[in-house]
């Protein structure tokens, strides 16, 4: 679209606390620039008590949507007009999309993971071991179930959180799922196709070790990590050394941005441009 003589941008953005540490703006604006989109992404610091007013403000100013990060992913829901399928199952929204005059809540965390996974495999019929049962694990598990995974074993330290997620998967998505309580090094069952770290182990600590019995990790298994900083976690390095195919957390982060830009603008953005912008913003070496 020619922007000549048009001084009004389409607006999207992010509402969170701790917004200054969130690099998403850099990769989204890189995509807008690369694709000649007359759009802006505004990173906004919003306190919980101001969320309702902020969403009303976004409507009043004609925002086309916005990301929600911590602590607004659940509390934003009453301020929206509807939810997409996975956001409704998860009970959490990280991406609001204006459709007509309605603000609809979606969740792109798990969709970003799936897009990253799609570069190496189709989850349909696969057996998955998922470490963690927090927000990221929940988002990933729900999307994997919706995409037809056969079985998801949740391995988590807290039994209550872990069994709640396994129950949600069984009852709402009719997939085989159970909790294995995490005590010592977890031994993978034979027949595991995909292993995912969706805990915060490894965040800002390249040497942090996930308690996994590496001797049970056979080559050919796909190993994914949600940790984006640093992207080459100890799990990723160990898995590579055992001949596994690996997916880092930066891929998930970039791809959830890709899904968001697609939702808002209808344009499929170039993921490489977005990853490069993110790597530069995080001070990571190229192709880290």
Q: Return the active site residues.
A: 73
CA–CA dist 145, 153 (Å, integer): 12
Six token digits for residue 69: 């990060």
Q: Using CB under 6 A, which of 84, 105, 132, 231 touches ligand NDP?
A: 132
Instruction: Select from 126, 109, 129, 120 the least CA-distant residue to 211.
Output: 129
Q: Nearer Cβ to ligand NDP, position 18 or 36?
A: 18
Q: Using CB under 6 A, which of 109, 114, 144, 222 touches ligand NDP?
A: 109
CA distances to 28, 183, 214, 218, 274 from 239, rounded to whole Å, are: 31, 21, 8, 9, 26
- Asked if 230 is part of the footprint of ligand NDP (rule: CB under 6 A), the reply reads no
- Whether 71 contacts 18, CB under 8 Å: no
Residues 251-280 that bind ligand NDP (CB under 6 A): 252-253, 256
Q: Nearer Cβ to ligand NDP, position 227 or 261?
A: 227
The total number of residues shown for the chain amounts to 288
Which of the 8 DSSP states describes residue 184? Answer: S
- Whether 12 contacts 64, CB under 8 Å: yes
Q: Using CB under 6 A, which of 17, 22, 88, 200 touches ligand NDP?
A: 200
- Asked if 92 is part of the footprint of ligand NDP (rule: CB under 6 A), the reply reads no
Q: Nearer Cβ to ligand NDP, position 53 or 118?
A: 118
CA–CA dist 161, 205 (Å, integer): 24
- Asked if 158 is part of the footprint of ligand NDP (rule: CB under 6 A), the reply reads yes
- Asked if 156 is part of the footprint of ligand NDP (rule: CB under 6 A), the reply reads yes
Q: Nearer Cβ to ligand NDP, position 24 or 192?
A: 24
- Asked if 27 is part of the footprint of ligand NDP (rule: CB under 6 A), the reply reads no
- Asked if 136 is part of the footprint of ligand NDP (rule: CB under 6 A), the reply reads yes
- Asked if 167 is part of the footprint of ligand NDP (rule: CB under 6 A), the reply reads no
Q: In what order do the strands lie in the sheet with 245-247?
A: 176-181, 151-156, 127-131, 194-197, 222-225, 245-247
- Asked if 137 is part of the footprint of ligand NDP (rule: CB under 6 A), the reply reads yes
- Asked if 130 is part of the footprint of ligand NDP (rule: CB under 6 A), the reply reads no
- Asked if 112 is part of the footprint of ligand NDP (rule: CB under 6 A), the reply reads yes
Question: Residue 82: how many CB atoms within 10 A of its CB?
Answer: 12
Phi and psi, residue 65, nearest 5°: 155, 180
Q: Nearer Cβ to ligand NDP, position 11 or 284?
A: 284
Instruction: Select from 268, 225, 271, 189 the least CA-distant residue to 113.
Output: 225
Q: Using CB under 6 A, which of 133, 145, 179, 217 touches ligand NDP?
A: 133
- Asked if 284 is part of the footprint of ligand NDP (rule: CB under 6 A), the reply reads no
In this structure, are strands 65-68 and 95-99 parallel, antiparallel, or unpaired?
antiparallel
- Whether 100 contacts 135, CB under 8 Å: no
Question: In the complex, which residues of this chain contact ligand NDP (CB under 6 A)?
Answer: 109, 112, 132-137, 156-158, 161, 199-201, 203, 226-228, 249, 252-253, 256
């Amino acid at each position: 679209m020619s922007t000549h003589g048009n001084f009004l941008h389409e607006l999207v953005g992010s509402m969170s606390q701790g917004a200054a540490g969130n690099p998403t703006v850099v990769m989204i604006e890189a995509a807008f620039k690369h694709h000649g989109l007359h759009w802006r992404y505004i990173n906004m610091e919003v306190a919980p008590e101001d969320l309702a007013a902020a969403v009303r403000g976004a409507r009043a100013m004609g925002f086309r949507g916005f990301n929600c990060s911590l602590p607004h992913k659940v509390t934003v829901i009453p301020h929206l007009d509807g939810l997409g399928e996975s956001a409704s199952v998860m009970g959490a929204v990280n991406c609001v999309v204006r459709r007509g005059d309605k603000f609809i809540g979606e969740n792109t965390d798990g969709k970003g993971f799936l897009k990253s996974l799609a570069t190496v495999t189709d989850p349909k019929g696969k057996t998955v071991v998922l470490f963690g049962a927090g927000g990221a694990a929940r988002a990933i598990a729900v999307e994997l179930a919706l995409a037809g995974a056969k079985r998801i074993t949740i391995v988590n330290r807290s039994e209550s959180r872990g069994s709640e997620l396994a129950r949600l998967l069984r009852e709402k998505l009719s997939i085989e799922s159970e909790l294995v309580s995490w005590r010592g090094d977890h031994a993978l069952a034979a027949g595991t196709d995909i292993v995912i770290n969706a805990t915060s182990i490894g965040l800002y600590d390249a040497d942090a070790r996930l308690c996994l019995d590496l001797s049970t990790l056979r080559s050919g298994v796909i190993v994914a990590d949600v940790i984006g900083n640093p992207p080459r976690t100890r799990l990723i390095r160990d898995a590579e050394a055992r001949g596994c195919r690996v997916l880092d957390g930066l891929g998930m982060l970039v791809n959830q941005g890709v899904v968001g830009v697609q939702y808002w603008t209808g344009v499929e953005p170039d993921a490489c441009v977005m990853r490069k912008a993110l790597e530069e913003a995080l001070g990571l070496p190229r192709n880290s």
